[in-house]
Amino acid sequence: MPTKQELHTFLRTRRSIRRFRPDSVPEAVIEEILATATFAPSAHNRQPWRFAVVTEPVVKTRLGQAVTGKMRADMQADGANQSDIEKRAATSLRRMDEAPVVIVLCRDKTDVRVDTVEEAAMGIQSTAAAGLQLLLAAHAEGLGGNWVCWALYAQEETRDALNLPETWEPQAFYFLGYPDEMPEMKNRKDLKSVILTVDDGR
């Protein structure tokens, strides 16, 4: 059993990895990561997370085309110039192509209450908790990963490209693979600036 200091070090050494070696990731490793992800907490223990696993290049290409199609349309509607649009789309396609594993994290609408804003938020928070747990489990397996928000902007396109069930609402992509970079730790805000110790001295 690792010591608590080792566990803190483990949690603090996760990085967003955006460059991967081309090596494929064994199915058993992916399954182990997803199993650990499902140990996240969830509101009312509803476990609204769902995971679509994409490793086949042809499917990744289909997903990339669908997402960047929407990206292009959104950027055009925002008045972006054509060369910026093409550059952004090409980068996104390359990143999708290079990631050996793409996991689409979804919130299943049948497993959340959406009758109040608070309940809807709880469903999203619960799903996101599984996303973090997934990244940490990947880190435990010696894999790198990156949380990618594009799915949020292309929910329908993602669902269509992957034939996902109607009730699966894509929330995020996780690009996973064996790291081909070791980025420096991103700057963290000073701890004191994000904590307020509340005492009774009003």
Residues that bind ligand FMN (CB under 6 A): 15-16, 18, 146-150, 186
Letter string b/e over residues 134-169, b meaning 16 or more CB atoms within 10 A of that residue's CB = bbbbbbebebbbbebebbeebbebbbebbebeeebb
Residue type, 91: T
Using the minimum distance from each CB to ligand FMN, give the nearer residue, 150 or 168: 150
Using the minimum distance from each CB to ligand FMN, give the nearer residue, 26 or 183: 183
- Smallest gap from Cβ 117 to ligand FMN, in A, equals 19
Give the chain's radius of gyration (CA, Å): 19
- Smallest gap from Cβ 126 to ligand FMN, in A, equals 14
Using the minimum distance from each CB to ligand FMN, give the nearer residue, 45 or 193: 193
Instruction: Specify the residue for token string 């550059």.
Output: 87
Residues 6+ apart with CB under 8 A from 121: none
109 secondary structure, DSSP code? G
- Smallest gap from Cβ 184 to ligand FMN, in A, equals 9
Provide the 10 A C-beta neighbour count for residue 90. Answer: 11
- Smallest gap from Cβ 1 to ligand FMN, in A, equals 26
- Smallest gap from Cβ 146 to ligand FMN, in A, equals 5
Cβ atoms 44, 77 nearer than 8 A: no
Using the minimum distance from each CB to ligand FMN, give the nearer residue, 27 or 182: 182
Using the minimum distance from each CB to ligand FMN, give the nearer residue, 77 or 149: 149
Using the minimum distance from each CB to ligand FMN, give the nearer residue, 18 or 50: 18
Provide the 10 A C-beta neighbour count for residue 202. Answer: 3
Cβ atoms 165, 6 nearer than 8 A: no
Cβ atoms 28, 184 nearer than 8 A: no
- Smallest gap from Cβ 128 to ligand FMN, in A, equals 7
Which residue has the closest beta carbon to ligand FMN?
A: 16
Q: Tokens representing 136?
A: 């940490």
